[in-house]
Amino acid sequence: MLKSQNKNQDLHQFTISRAVGFLVRIILCCLLILTSGCSPTLLNSQSNNNSRLVLVSPSPPSTFNYAMSRSSYDFFRFIYEGLISENGLTGELEPALAESWVLSENKKRIIFTLRSELKWSDGKPLTADDVIFTYQDIYLNQKIPTVYRDFLRIGSSGAFPSVKKIDRRRVEFILPEPFAPFLRYVEKLKILPAHALRDTILSTDADGKTLFLSTWNTNTQPQKIISNGPFKLANYTPSQRIILEKNPFYWRNDSAGNSLPYIDKLIIQIIPSTDNQLIRFRSGELDSIRVDAEAFQLLKRKENEANIKIYNRGSLGYRFVVFNLNQAKNSEEKPLLDPIKSRWFNNLAFRQAVAYAINRQQINNTIYRGLGEIQHSALGVQSPYYLSPEAGLKVYQYNPEKAKQLLLDSGFQYNDANELLDDNGNRVEFTILVKSEEKLRKDTAVQIQEYLSRIGIRSNLQVLNSNTVSQKLFYSRDWECYIGVLGLRGADLEPNLLSLFWLSNGSFHLFNLGSKPGEPKIKNWQVSDWEKEIDRLFTAGYQTIDEDKRREIYGEFQQIVSEQLPVFFLVNPLAIQAVRNHIDNLKFSALGYTFWNVYELKIKDK
């Protein structure tokens, strides 16, 4: 048996001077109440002013139910933890709710041992029963359409592990076969409270669906949301802000025994417009924002004067264009997509023509101000498995004339107005779907409209908020073309983490999404031969230990994506974050998100 090492937390003790200063402020506020009739609410506001972290989200939450969320903008990382966590500096896996884990010699059995005396935010014990409930009754429950189930698929058969309770603190996972990425997947999965949610699993509504599906929606009283992370939900004002407060039962303590986190409140302001985010940050209302190319030079010049620091995380996530290749019908026998447009999108020459028509270098120069990298492959250049154009990867340099010739050779034609028609005389026109929260993505869509018009294609923009876009992409599937972002922390080190997107049965297999448990069935869903080949390669990738062979496998995968173009990549802007200097103990890295160690952050006196 191999036992993981439990590393000591490198945490810092409050200084005596801060404690004295805090006491002085309390006394002064009390004097204000006696002399001027200040309300207790004002007192609390003033006393907590230096222990609040104010962040921003471009989109409101779609649910407070972690298992049912598909949003890319979430607050769950602040209120939930899983069995293990990933160190944001090193990328190494570390103990979280589980203090240790043991892997059998045949790599098919893993025993996790929970920390002693763990508690939920309501003070109830957190035990192995919660782990069993979370995995068996939620993630592995076929009646619950959670995307997190895919993290537990193992092998070419897509079989799931079994999980059993050994005792109050120990649980065992039994894998159908050795699966090297399994621990990386476990790190992504949070543990949920059995005592608060079990009844919703066992009960059904009038339609026979489990009540869990509608439990903990955004109308739920925040106090009813039970968590195990550093914070708990305190208040939610729809489309305005989420307020989290310190979880008094959180398991972490610093080296002096002080309970963590140090910060009393974490406020997430909901501001869709990046322009408004910038204004609020410059006025001092926000402690951090994601910086786009337009704002970078402005903030960089003011870095010292404004007492802020600009961090560059490098190029993270892949911006891409994707067509809906799904040829299925819904439960009412209606095609998910107009058959005429489906025929265009499933024509490889059509997709190749669009790829040649887009000037990605110009997009980088004009929209991203040169603060980006052109992406050719399905893996990032930082990945050890990256296949470069020099090594043979097929690429599509800007060439509108070649795009037109590809279309003509495949049966399309142009009328006297230089408008593109298909072989039946239908005008080639479709809608590009884009999220409203990211201005540069919208600007990119406008630029792509212009490029498409140069080869006779008319395109319209449909700009919707994140939650509505997710509904169209993953539920109704009634979309035509989408400009999106693909990325998952750790995927460059372990490509198999992207299997949720690339496997044909993956919950994020965006371009040809099949039926999912708990959803209305779609009919006549078809999987292409090249999709099946990608499935085979991902299976071979996780089964292979030899790194040279893995590079060959994932190189072949990248070549298929470049040749078949289910997705073609654009420009990856640099991920730049502006953070106020009064945030102490920030451990910024390109691996973890900016506030990955939120539990040990402190707010210095301003």
Does 16-53+215-314+574-603 match 318-569 in CATH topology? no
pLDDT at 42: 29
Give 3-state DSSP helix, strand, coil % of the chain, rounded to 5.
35, 20, 45
Is the sign of the CA dihedral 585, 586, 591, 593 positive or negative?
Answer: positive
Nearest to 156 by CA among 141, 138, 176: 176
The Cα–Cα gap between 321 and 319 comes to 7
pLDDT digits (tens, 9 = 90+) for 233-261: 999 999 999 999 999 999 999 999 999 99
> What percent of the chain shows pLDDT beyond 90?
64
Is the sign of the CA dihedral 66, 81, 175, 557 positive or negative?
Answer: positive
Residue 310 CA from chain centroid, whole number: 22
Q: Are 25 and 33 in contact (CB under 8 A)?
A: no
pLDDT digits (tens, 9 = 90+) for 288-317: 999 988 888 889 998 988 899 999 876 667
Nearest to 88 by CA among 588, 578, 494: 588
pLDDT at 332: 87
Confidence band of 364 (pLDDT split at 50, 70, 90): very high
User: What residue segments make up the domains of the chain, in order of their start?
Assistant: 16-53+215-314+574-603, 66-200, 318-569
Q: Are 494 and 145 in contact (CB under 8 A)?
A: no
- DSSP annotation of 275 reads H
| Mean model confidence pLDDT for the chain | 87
pLDDT at 540 over 70: yes
Query: Domain 66-200 is of which CATH architecture?
Result: Alpha-Beta Complex (3.90)
Of these ranges, 155-164, 427-436, 502-511, the one predicted with the greatest mean pLDDT is 427-436
Q: Is 16-53+215-314+574-603 a domain of CATH 3.90.1150.10?
A: no
Q: Is residue 261 reached through a cis peptide bond, with omega within 30 degrees of 0 on the bond before it?
A: yes
pLDDT at 313: 74
Is the sign of the CA dihedral 67, 71, 76, 77 positive or negative?
Answer: positive
DSSP for 501-531, written as a single string: HHSTT-TT-GGG----TTSPPPBS----HHH
- Span of 337-341, 555-559, 585-589 with lowest mean pLDDT: 585-589
CATH code, 318-569: 3.10.105.10
Q: Are 64 and 54 in contact (CB under 8 A)?
A: no
Tell me the mean pLDDT in the region 328-347: 95
Q: Looking at per-residue confidence, does 168 or 592 come out higher?
A: 168
Please report where in the chains the tokens 């076969």 appear, as a residue.
Answer: 177
Q: What angle do CA 354, 359, 365 make, to 5 degrees?
A: 150
pLDDT digits (tens, 9 = 90+) for 574-605: 888 999 999 999 998 766 678 999 999 999 87
